[in-house]
Chains A and B, each alone.
Chain A
Amino acid sequence: GAGVSQSPSNKVTEKGKDVELRCDPISGHTALYWYRQRLGQGLEFLIYFQGNSAPDKSGLPSDRFSAERTGESVSTLTIQRTQQEDSAVYLCASSPRTLGGTGELFFGEGSRLTVL
């Protein structure tokens, strides 16, 4: 498809297990973002990738969270030793990062994580 694709759409895991969430951005988009959305709340910034620059990890809540992106393609968000407070929808977005552009982010439908 032409949009941002995320998988899995739903993930239920037991406390203490590791999970990996995947994001496939729109082709040609150099910027990629991960956000977390807890139930009934706004979006929390987690991490930002821009081309081959060092990622901005300032939003990652703990060292259990990490993310990788190879070039301008797929990104994976990994949560180690999951805790119940990690339950949320994890949203990925991409952007063409064009200076002077609208700044519009294109979002995927999210990966809903439930930690039992």
Chain B
Amino acid sequence: AQKVTQAQTEISVVEKEDVTLDCVYETRDTTYYLFWYKQPPSGELVFLIRRNSFDEQNEISGRYSWNFQKSTSSFNFTITASQVVDSAVYFCALSEEPGSARQLTFGSGTQLTVLP
């Protein structure tokens, strides 16, 4: 069975600090997909990134970067120079079905608070 663990329940940082959100996953499949979603106070989850298991290149998008390490089954998410608008719950998720997000398994989420 697949499992996603986000050990950090809550993190608080001061604006402009860098912050890393941890995600550790378990799966028996050799092909799988990892996701990060952001859930702002409005409640609507917003897709941030999808990573295929066969692509271990790290990715950077503006202030966001992701570090995928198959050896440690981790897919960590770093926000550089955090801003108040980054405050949200962030979910890491895993899917074993190629090409779609069917039956995503979500972690329990990390509540990030960025203080001005």
Within 8 A of B (CB), among A30-81: 31, 33, 35, 40-45, 48, 50, 56, 58-59
Closest residue of A by beta carbon distance from B9: A40
CB < 8 Å: which of B43, B45, B46, B102 contacts A31? B102
A31–B13 alpha-carbon span in the complex (Å)? 38
Is there a chain A Cβ closer than 8 Å to B113's Cβ?
Answer: no
Nearest CB in chain A to that of B35: its residue: A103
- In the assembled complex, which residues on chain A have CB atoms less than 8 Å from the CB atom of B104? 43, 45, 105
The residue of chain A having its C-beta at the shortest distance from the C-beta of B107 within the complex is A42
With A33-B102, A108-B44, A109-B42 given, name 17 new contacts (CB 8 A). A31-B102, A41-B109, A42-B91, A43-B106, A45-B104, A45-B105, A91-B43, A95-B100, A101-B99, A101-B100, A102-B47, A104-B47, A104-B50, A105-B37, A105-B45, A107-B45, A109-B44
Can you list 27 A-B pairs, Cβ within 8 angstroms, ordered by A?
Answer: A33-B101, A40-B108, A40-B109, A41-B109, A42-B91, A42-B106, A42-B109, A43-B45, A43-B91, A45-B103, A48-B102, A56-B103, A59-B103, A89-B43, A95-B100, A99-B99, A103-B35, A103-B50, A103-B95, A105-B37, A105-B47, A105-B104, A107-B37, A107-B44, A107-B45, A107-B46, A108-B44
How far does the Cβ of B21 sit from chain A's closest Cβ, in whole Å?
A: 14
By beta carbon, the residue of chain B nearest A58 is B103
How many residues from B make CB contacts under 8 Å with A? 25
- 7 closest residue pairs by CB, A with B: A42-B106, A107-B45, A104-B47, A103-B101, A43-B106, A99-B99, A42-B108
Report Cα–Cα, A43/B89, bound state, in Å.
Answer: 12
Question: Would you give the shortest CB distance from B43 to chain A, in whole angstroms?
Answer: 5
Question: Which listed residue, A3, A48, A107, touches B103 by the CB 8 Å rule?
Answer: A48
Give the CA-CA distance A43 to B13 in the complex, in Å: 25
Interface of chain A, main secondary structure: loop
Closest-by-CB residue of B relative to A89 is B43
Contacts of B91 in A (CB 8 A): 42-43
B100-A97 in contact (CB<8A)? yes
**Across-interface contacts of A101 in B (CB, < 8 A):** 99-100
